[in-house]
Structure 1
Amino acid sequence: MATNDFHAVEAVLAEDFVLEWPQSKERIRGATNFARLNTEYPAQGPWVFTVNRLVGGGNEAVSDVFVTDGALHARAISFFTVERGKITRMVEFWPEPYDAPFDRTQFVERIE
Protein backbone atom coordinates (compact mmCIF):
# COMPACT_ATOMS: atom_id res chain seq x y z
CA MET A 1 0.00 0.00 0.00
CA ALA A 2 2.84 2.40 0.84
CA THR A 3 4.04 2.36 -2.78
CA ASN A 4 0.59 3.54 -3.96
CA ASP A 5 0.78 0.76 -6.56
CA PHE A 6 -2.58 -0.69 -5.58
CA HIS A 7 -2.54 -3.29 -8.36
CA ALA A 8 0.60 -4.76 -6.73
CA VAL A 9 -1.52 -5.35 -3.60
CA GLU A 10 -3.58 -7.83 -5.61
CA ALA A 11 -0.73 -10.32 -5.13
CA VAL A 12 -1.57 -10.72 -1.42
CA LEU A 13 -5.35 -10.85 -1.88
CA ALA A 14 -7.24 -14.09 -2.48
CA GLU A 15 -9.18 -14.55 -5.70
CA ASP A 16 -12.45 -14.41 -3.73
CA PHE A 17 -11.32 -11.45 -1.56
CA VAL A 18 -14.08 -9.41 0.11
CA LEU A 19 -13.78 -6.06 1.89
CA GLU A 20 -16.65 -4.68 3.96
CA TRP A 21 -17.12 -1.10 5.15
CA PRO A 22 -19.97 -1.40 7.69
CA GLN A 23 -20.23 2.37 8.25
CA SER A 24 -21.05 3.15 4.61
CA LYS A 25 -22.76 -0.22 4.05
CA GLU A 26 -20.48 -1.14 1.11
CA ARG A 27 -18.86 -4.38 0.05
CA ILE A 28 -16.04 -4.74 -2.48
CA ARG A 29 -15.64 -8.13 -4.13
CA GLY A 30 -12.40 -9.14 -5.77
CA ALA A 31 -8.80 -8.01 -5.71
CA THR A 32 -9.15 -6.10 -8.99
CA ASN A 33 -12.09 -4.05 -7.72
CA PHE A 34 -10.09 -3.24 -4.58
CA ALA A 35 -7.10 -2.09 -6.64
CA ARG A 36 -9.19 -0.07 -9.08
CA LEU A 37 -11.16 1.66 -6.31
CA ASN A 38 -7.96 2.70 -4.53
CA THR A 39 -6.31 3.79 -7.80
CA GLU A 40 -9.30 5.90 -8.82
CA TYR A 41 -9.97 7.43 -5.38
CA PRO A 42 -9.78 11.25 -5.74
CA ALA A 43 -6.64 11.80 -3.62
CA GLN A 44 -4.84 15.12 -3.26
CA GLY A 45 -1.42 13.47 -3.33
CA PRO A 46 0.26 10.13 -2.69
CA TRP A 47 -1.16 8.17 0.22
CA VAL A 48 1.07 7.85 3.28
CA PHE A 49 0.34 5.06 5.77
CA THR A 50 1.58 4.99 9.37
CA VAL A 51 0.99 1.72 11.20
CA ASN A 52 0.10 2.52 14.80
CA ARG A 53 -0.46 -1.08 15.82
CA LEU A 54 -0.61 -4.51 14.27
CA VAL A 55 -1.85 -7.56 16.18
CA GLY A 56 -2.18 -11.06 14.80
CA GLY A 57 -2.58 -14.68 15.65
CA GLY A 58 -3.59 -17.79 13.77
CA ASN A 59 -5.33 -16.71 10.59
CA GLU A 60 -6.48 -13.30 11.84
CA ALA A 61 -4.88 -9.88 12.23
CA VAL A 62 -5.95 -6.36 13.17
CA SER A 63 -4.29 -3.12 12.13
CA ASP A 64 -4.66 0.44 13.36
CA VAL A 65 -3.34 2.74 10.62
CA PHE A 66 -3.16 6.51 10.14
CA VAL A 67 -3.74 7.46 6.49
CA THR A 68 -3.14 10.79 4.76
CA ASP A 69 -2.90 12.19 1.24
CA GLY A 70 -1.77 15.57 2.59
CA ALA A 71 -5.32 16.96 2.78
CA LEU A 72 -7.30 14.08 4.26
CA HIS A 73 -6.18 12.73 7.63
CA ALA A 74 -7.94 9.55 8.74
CA ARG A 75 -7.58 6.47 10.87
CA ALA A 76 -8.52 2.97 9.72
CA ILE A 77 -9.09 -0.03 11.94
CA SER A 78 -8.96 -3.18 9.80
CA PHE A 79 -9.73 -6.80 10.64
CA PHE A 80 -8.08 -9.34 8.31
CA THR A 81 -8.74 -13.03 7.69
CA VAL A 82 -5.89 -14.92 6.00
CA GLU A 83 -6.21 -18.34 4.38
CA ARG A 84 -3.53 -20.21 2.41
CA GLY A 85 -1.21 -17.18 2.67
CA LYS A 86 -3.69 -14.71 1.11
CA ILE A 87 -6.05 -12.14 2.61
CA THR A 88 -9.57 -13.45 2.04
CA ARG A 89 -11.61 -10.95 4.03
CA MET A 90 -11.29 -7.49 5.53
CA VAL A 91 -13.75 -5.57 7.65
CA GLU A 92 -12.63 -1.97 7.93
CA PHE A 93 -13.80 0.92 10.10
CA TRP A 94 -12.95 4.60 9.52
CA PRO A 95 -13.82 6.29 12.83
CA GLU A 96 -14.43 10.04 12.88
CA PRO A 97 -12.93 12.10 15.70
CA TYR A 98 -15.41 13.93 17.92
CA ASP A 99 -15.42 16.35 20.82
CA ALA A 100 -15.93 15.00 24.32
CA PRO A 101 -19.63 15.10 25.27
CA PHE A 102 -18.97 17.10 28.47
CA ASP A 103 -16.11 18.88 30.20
CA ARG A 104 -14.05 16.11 31.73
CA THR A 105 -10.68 17.86 31.72
CA GLN A 106 -10.23 17.07 35.42
CA PHE A 107 -10.17 13.35 34.59
CA VAL A 108 -8.38 13.14 31.25
CA GLU A 109 -5.45 14.45 29.27
CA ARG A 110 -5.76 15.54 25.63
CA ILE A 111 -4.23 13.45 22.85
CA GLU A 112 -2.89 15.63 20.03
Structure 2
Amino acid sequence: MNTTPEALVREFWRLMASNDFDSVRQVLSPDFVMEWPQSRERIRGADNFARMNSEYPSTGRWQFQINRLLSQGEAVVTQVSLTDGTQSAEPISFFTVEQGRITRLVEYWPDPFEPQANRSHLVERMD
Protein backbone atom coordinates (compact mmCIF):
# COMPACT_ATOMS: atom_id res chain seq x y z
CA MET A 1 0.00 0.00 0.00
CA ASN A 2 1.68 3.21 -1.18
CA THR A 3 0.16 6.11 0.73
CA THR A 4 1.04 8.68 3.39
CA PRO A 5 0.54 7.88 7.08
CA GLU A 6 -2.17 10.57 7.28
CA ALA A 7 -4.07 9.14 4.29
CA LEU A 8 -3.78 5.64 5.76
CA VAL A 9 -5.27 6.74 9.10
CA ARG A 10 -8.08 8.60 7.31
CA GLU A 11 -8.77 5.35 5.44
CA PHE A 12 -8.76 3.47 8.77
CA TRP A 13 -11.54 5.74 10.09
CA ARG A 14 -13.46 5.52 6.79
CA LEU A 15 -13.36 1.73 7.00
CA MET A 16 -14.38 1.80 10.67
CA ALA A 17 -17.39 3.95 9.69
CA SER A 18 -18.43 1.28 7.17
CA ASN A 19 -19.08 -1.00 10.19
CA ASP A 20 -17.43 -3.78 8.15
CA PHE A 21 -14.70 -4.28 10.71
CA ASP A 22 -13.12 -7.12 8.74
CA SER A 23 -12.35 -4.56 6.01
CA VAL A 24 -10.18 -2.59 8.44
CA ARG A 25 -7.63 -5.41 8.35
CA GLN A 26 -6.45 -4.18 4.92
CA VAL A 27 -4.75 -1.13 6.53
CA LEU A 28 -3.32 -3.02 9.52
CA SER A 29 0.05 -4.72 9.65
CA PRO A 30 0.08 -8.51 10.24
CA ASP A 31 1.83 -7.82 13.56
CA PHE A 32 -0.57 -5.01 14.53
CA VAL A 33 -0.87 -4.24 18.27
CA MET A 34 -3.47 -2.05 19.97
CA GLU A 35 -3.18 -0.91 23.58
CA TRP A 36 -5.65 0.66 25.99
CA PRO A 37 -3.42 1.92 28.83
CA GLN A 38 -6.35 2.88 31.08
CA SER A 39 -7.64 -0.69 31.29
CA ARG A 40 -4.19 -2.25 30.75
CA GLU A 41 -5.41 -4.30 27.76
CA ARG A 42 -3.50 -5.26 24.62
CA ILE A 43 -4.98 -6.74 21.45
CA ARG A 44 -2.58 -8.49 19.10
CA GLY A 45 -3.32 -8.99 15.44
CA ALA A 46 -5.69 -7.56 12.87
CA ASP A 47 -8.07 -10.53 13.23
CA ASN A 48 -8.51 -9.97 16.97
CA PHE A 49 -9.00 -6.24 16.40
CA ALA A 50 -11.73 -6.87 13.80
CA ARG A 51 -13.41 -9.48 16.00
CA MET A 52 -13.35 -7.22 19.08
CA ASN A 53 -15.06 -4.42 17.15
CA SER A 54 -17.60 -6.80 15.57
CA GLU A 55 -18.51 -8.28 18.95
CA TYR A 56 -18.71 -4.97 20.82
CA PRO A 57 -22.32 -4.41 21.96
CA SER A 58 -24.09 -1.60 20.13
CA THR A 59 -27.62 -0.34 19.56
CA GLY A 60 -27.03 0.78 15.98
CA ARG A 61 -24.44 1.51 13.32
CA TRP A 62 -21.29 3.14 14.58
CA GLN A 63 -20.61 6.62 13.25
CA PHE A 64 -17.18 8.25 13.37
CA GLN A 65 -16.17 11.88 12.87
CA ILE A 66 -12.56 13.03 12.83
CA ASN A 67 -12.41 16.25 14.86
CA ARG A 68 -8.65 16.66 14.79
CA LEU A 69 -5.79 14.89 13.05
CA LEU A 70 -2.08 15.61 13.52
CA SER A 71 0.54 13.86 11.42
CA GLN A 72 4.32 13.91 11.66
CA GLY A 73 6.47 11.30 9.98
CA GLU A 74 5.18 7.84 10.87
CA ALA A 75 3.07 9.13 13.77
CA VAL A 76 -0.57 10.21 13.44
CA VAL A 77 -2.84 11.34 16.28
CA THR A 78 -6.62 11.66 15.99
CA GLN A 79 -9.41 12.95 18.18
CA VAL A 80 -12.61 11.29 16.97
CA SER A 81 -16.25 11.52 18.04
CA LEU A 82 -18.09 8.24 17.77
CA THR A 83 -21.62 7.07 18.51
CA ASP A 84 -23.98 4.20 17.89
CA GLY A 85 -26.97 6.45 18.62
CA THR A 86 -26.96 5.60 22.33
CA GLN A 87 -23.33 5.34 23.41
CA SER A 88 -20.86 8.06 22.53
CA ALA A 89 -17.19 8.73 23.21
CA GLU A 90 -14.28 10.84 22.07
CA PRO A 91 -11.09 8.76 22.10
CA ILE A 92 -7.60 10.09 21.45
CA SER A 93 -5.74 7.64 19.22
CA PHE A 94 -1.99 7.44 18.58
CA PHE A 95 -1.13 5.55 15.39
CA THR A 96 2.27 4.29 14.24
CA VAL A 97 2.58 3.59 10.51
CA GLU A 98 5.42 1.54 9.06
CA GLN A 99 5.84 0.37 5.48
CA GLY A 100 2.35 1.50 4.47
CA ARG A 101 0.46 -0.25 7.29
CA ILE A 102 -0.69 0.66 10.78
CA THR A 103 1.52 -1.29 13.17
CA ARG A 104 0.49 0.16 16.52
CA LEU A 105 -2.49 1.96 17.98
CA VAL A 106 -2.59 3.34 21.53
CA GLU A 107 -5.99 4.71 22.54
CA TYR A 108 -7.17 6.75 25.49
CA TRP A 109 -10.91 6.81 26.24
CA PRO A 110 -11.60 9.76 28.57
CA ASP A 111 -14.83 9.76 30.54
CA PRO A 112 -16.91 12.94 30.50
CA PHE A 113 -17.38 14.69 33.84
CA GLU A 114 -19.31 17.61 35.25
CA PRO A 115 -17.42 20.86 35.80
CA GLN A 116 -16.57 21.93 39.31
CA ALA A 117 -18.62 24.78 40.77
CA ASN A 118 -15.56 26.65 42.04
CA ARG A 119 -14.61 27.68 38.49
CA SER A 120 -18.08 28.39 37.10
CA HIS A 121 -17.34 32.13 36.98
CA LEU A 122 -14.38 31.46 34.65
CA VAL A 123 -15.82 28.99 32.14
CA GLU A 124 -18.64 28.54 29.69
CA ARG A 125 -20.41 25.27 28.87
CA MET A 126 -19.74 23.62 25.51
CA ASP A 127 -23.11 21.99 24.89
Q: For this structure pair, what is the TM-score category when the shorter chain's length is used for normalisation?
A: over 0.9
- 5+ long unaligned stretches in structure 2: 1-15
Which has a greater percent of strand?
A: 1
| Equivalent-residue separation in structure 1 for 2:64 and 2:112 (angstroms) | 18
| Equivalent-residue separation in structure 2 for 1:71 and 1:100 (angstroms) | 22
Aligned residue in 1 for 2:109:
94
Deviation digits for residues 23-57 of structure 1, max 9, x if unmatched?
Answer: 11100000000000101111111000011101101
Q: 1:35 aligns with which of 35, 42, 50?
A: 50
Number of aligned residues: 112
Deviation digits for residues 72-111 of structure 1, max 9, x if unmatched?
Answer: 0111100000000100001001100112233312111111
Aligned residue in 1 for 2:63:
48
Percentage of identical aligned residues? 56
Query: Secondary structure of the residue that 1:7 maps to in structure 2?
Result: helix
Which has a greater percent of helix?
A: 2
- Residue 119 (structure 2) pairs with residue 104 (structure 1): yes
| Equivalent-residue separation in structure 2 for 1:95 and 1:108 (angstroms) | 20
- 5+ long unaligned stretches in structure 1: none
